Amino acid sequence: MIDSAKVKELVTQALEEQGAFLVDLTIGNDSRIHLVADHKDGITLDMLMQISRHVEHNLDREAEDFALDVSSPGVGEPLKVKEQYEKNVGRPVKVVTLDGKVHQGDFDRFENDEVTLSWKERVPKPVGKGKVTVKKEVKIPLQDIKETSIEIRF
């Protein structure tokens, strides 16, 4: 069985060397290590290779056979860690809260563990006929969020 504490230590060292952050780390019973890493400016293939090599070269294959997968978060994958929220400010997102409400808009700010979204909406004029476009905003605490995903617009 792979020593998970040693793997976590090696992963932390490798990420620090690249200035990257950990999104997800799973170590399966079948000695499969799956590591998802990202960087505030976007992680490169070279960074992923360096992380993979650091971990692989510092684990003893003679003592334990293992499989190592190192990747970046997928485009459609939900955000999992605070660093991902900080990185994606300014992008269109879809947020599902724990009570099931769905909010879509532009990710304006991430401060004090709170997500601020804004969007434009057409509402009836207070006086007279017609509609006017207004900017709406909602603040959602991180602990109330079930899932946040980046929306790809074409």
- Model confidence at 30: pLDDT above 90: no
HSE toward the beta carbon, residue 59, CA cutoff 13 A: 27
Reported residue count of the chain is 154
What are the residue boundaries of the structural domains of the chain, listed by start? 4-71, 82-150
- Model confidence at 97: pLDDT above 80: yes
pLDDT (average), residues 33-56: 95
pLDDT band at 14 (very low <50, low <70, confident <90, very high): very high
In this prediction the pTM is 0.85
| Residue 31: per-residue pLDDT | 87
Is there a contact between 89 and 109 (Cβ–Cβ < 8 Å)? yes
Q: State pLDDT tens for residues 99-134.
A: 999 999 999 999 999 999 999 999 999 888 999 999
Q: What percent of the chain has pLDDT over 70?
A: 99
pLDDT (average), residues 27-31: 89
| Residue 37: per-residue pLDDT | 97
pLDDT (average), residues 31-59: 94
17 phi and psi, to 5 degrees? -60, -35
The larger pLDDT score, comparing residue 153 to residue 116, is at: 116
Q: Cα–Cα distance between 79 and 28 in angstroms, integer?
A: 22
Q: State pLDDT tens for residues 65-83.
A: 889 999 999 888 999 999 9
Third-level CATH fold of 4-71: GMP Synthetase; Chain A, domain 3 (3.30.300)
- What is the β-pairing status of strands 92-97 and 114-124? unpaired
**Cβ-based burial of 152 (10 A; exposed 0-12, middle 13-18, buried ≥19):** exposed
- Identify which of 67, 76, 5, 74 has the alpha carbon closest to the alpha carbon of residue 38: 74
Third-level CATH fold of 82-150: SH3 type barrels. (2.30.30)
